[in-house]
Copies of this chain bind each other. A is one copy, B any other.
Amino acid sequence: VEKLLEQLKTIQAEVSDLDAVANLLDWDQQTYMPAGAAEGRGYHLATIQRLSHERRTSPEVGRLLEQLEPLAAGLDPDSEAACLVRLAQRDFHKRTRIPPAMVAEAAQLISAAFQAWQQARSENNFALFQPYMERVVDWRRRYADLFAPYDHIYDPLLDDYEPGMKTREVQAIFDDLRPRQVALIQKVAARPMPDDAFLHQYFEPQKQWDFAARVITAFGYDWRHGRIDKAAHPFSISFGVDDVRLTTRVLPDFLNTCMFGTFHESGHGMYDQGIPLELNRSLLGNPASYAIHESQSRLWENLVGRSLPFWEHFYSDLQRTFPAQLGGVELRAFYHGINRVKPSFIRVEADEATYNLHIMLRMELEIALVEGSLAVADLPEAWNARMQDYLGLTPPNDAQGVLQDVHWSNNYMGYFAAYALGNLISAQLWERITADLPGLPEQIRQGQFDELLGWLRRNVHAQASRYEPQALVRRITGSGIDAGPYMRYLEGKYGEIYGL
């Protein structure tokens, strides 16, 4: 077994290097690449991705797995060897099932669909994107069928992001969450809305940047193995545990974007930095899932960064940084302002109380599309109807409605759930954390985050991809993914702010 495992690990290390290099190509493209270099970059990425695909689906891997599968069956299923074989099997079987012609078709489709989406959005005309969206849905239906039989046609799509999770499970969670979240928003809407005009002033970009950097330094983001750069669409990206980079953007006239965006990305980054070094360059050294990843970013952004104890420490720094803008704004008023609830059209600008509704809407529509119960032609109408149901709003146009997200034009389907599940998980973890670390609120009030980060390192980061997301949440919290803690968190927080 040892020798076979070593061979498997050697291949995984090579694949991991190729994937890291693809990530660097992506990072560079979004940060520093000259405008005229896109075509060449396309070739570089395609070559690296093809080599990675060829290597991980090579007959050699197939032979190794055939020999290892029976041997691994006798091992403790939580042992490193058993996990490694399981993850390699999953990767191999998923990837070898996709015909090369479908991979090539997807590449062409994405390129055309992305262009059409950009045009459709700028011209506010869904009809321009409709034929490409139909091809995306068709491709995704055929993709799902490669993995038949399934309980639900959406399962194979979801599984790419949340290994092992079923559509029915997510639907059950969301069915529990949705009415409670709608009810909360309605209660909040009946109360006077806090003022947040002070957030919309001129804030010198370099000072915004420096403040955000001071905060994430205190969080524990490791600059020796990371850095931060500007990007139009901020993201965090890993080239291995020793090089995990963040990006952010700064709006000169709005304080939240750089600040909370940077806190958010630092949560992603600290997760990737927390993967144990000995798992680096191995399939075991990946994050558990997109939802688990999002739970980390949302925990630092919201549970910490939008909390009162956090601002009890950092608000004086922020006021010193921007005395003219915030000198006259009291801590409580600031805290209420950054936590204002206001239903809006755009997902990425949504507050904590409304965000999940944007996500549930998208997942429901995706499911209806791949089930065939909703035609792409009817998608804008279905979108707008749900916006009215959940948020009481009707988008004035498709650019602020069905055309707002890039995901579908990139042939992504099954991804959105992670955003809402991540929120739920962050609150589940938080209940566990505050039980385990009774001194935490006081530590946060002192700007001390090392116990919190240590807890996340041990309980979440160190597990890497050893467990599927549901299993990991259950191991940590004793329960599967569940809407209860998140609703308790929202109701407690907004109950206090809005005096519900």
Point out residues on A near B: beta carbons under 8 Å: 13-14, 17-18, 20-21, 24-25, 28, 32-41, 43-44, 47-48, 51, 222-227, 229, 239-243, 245, 280-281
Contacts and interface: CB of A to CB of B under 8 A. Distances in A.
Given A17-B48, A21-B25, A40 B224 contact: no
Interface centre among A24, A34, A239, A281 (most CB of B within 10 A): A34
Contacts of A40: 20, 239-243, 280
A47 B35 contact: no
16 contacts: A13-B43, A13-B47, A14-B47, A18-B47, A20-B44, A28-B28, A34-B225, A34-B227, A35-B224, A36-B222, A37-B225, A37-B240, A40-B243, A41-B239, A44-B239, A51-B51
Nearest to A39: B242
Contacts of A13: 43, 47
A275 B57 CA distance: 37
Contacts of A34: 223-227, 242-243, 245
Contacts of A240: 37, 40, 43-44
Given A28-B28, A243-B41, A281-B43, A21 B36 contact: no
A240 B47 CA distance: 14
A224 B21 contact: no
A209 B239 CA distance: 31
Contacts of A43: 13, 17, 240, 281
B36 A242 contact: yes
Contacts of A280: 40
A343 to B, nearest CB: 40
Nearest to A238: B40
Number of copies: 2
Contacts of A44: 17, 20-21, 24, 239-240
Contacts of A21: 21, 25, 44, 47-48
Nearest to A47: B17
A76 B221 CA distance: 61
A169 to B, nearest CB: 36
A413 to B, nearest CB: 30
Nearest 7 pairs of A and B residues by beta carbon: A37-B243, A36-B224, A17-B47, A40-B240, A36-B225, A40-B242, A37-B242
A238 to B, nearest CB: 10
Nearest to A281: B43
A82 to B, nearest CB: 25
A207 B28 CA distance: 26
Nearest to A280: B40
A280 B18 CA distance: 23
A377 to B, nearest CB: 40
A292 B24 CA distance: 31
Nearest to A33: B243
A222 to B, nearest CB: 8
B32 A24 contact: no
A45 to B, nearest CB: 9
Nearest to A41: B243
A35 B225 CA distance: 7
A37 B226 CA distance: 8
Given A17-B47, A21-B48, A40-B280, 9 more contacts: A18-B47, A20-B44, A21-B25, A28-B28, A32-B32, A32-B229, A37-B243, A40-B240, A41-B243
Contacts of A47: 13-14, 17-18, 21
A492 to B, nearest CB: 39
A474 to B, nearest CB: 32
Contacts of A241: 40
Nearest to A225: B36
Contact of A24 (B28, B51, B227, B243): B28
A48 B227 CA distance: 24
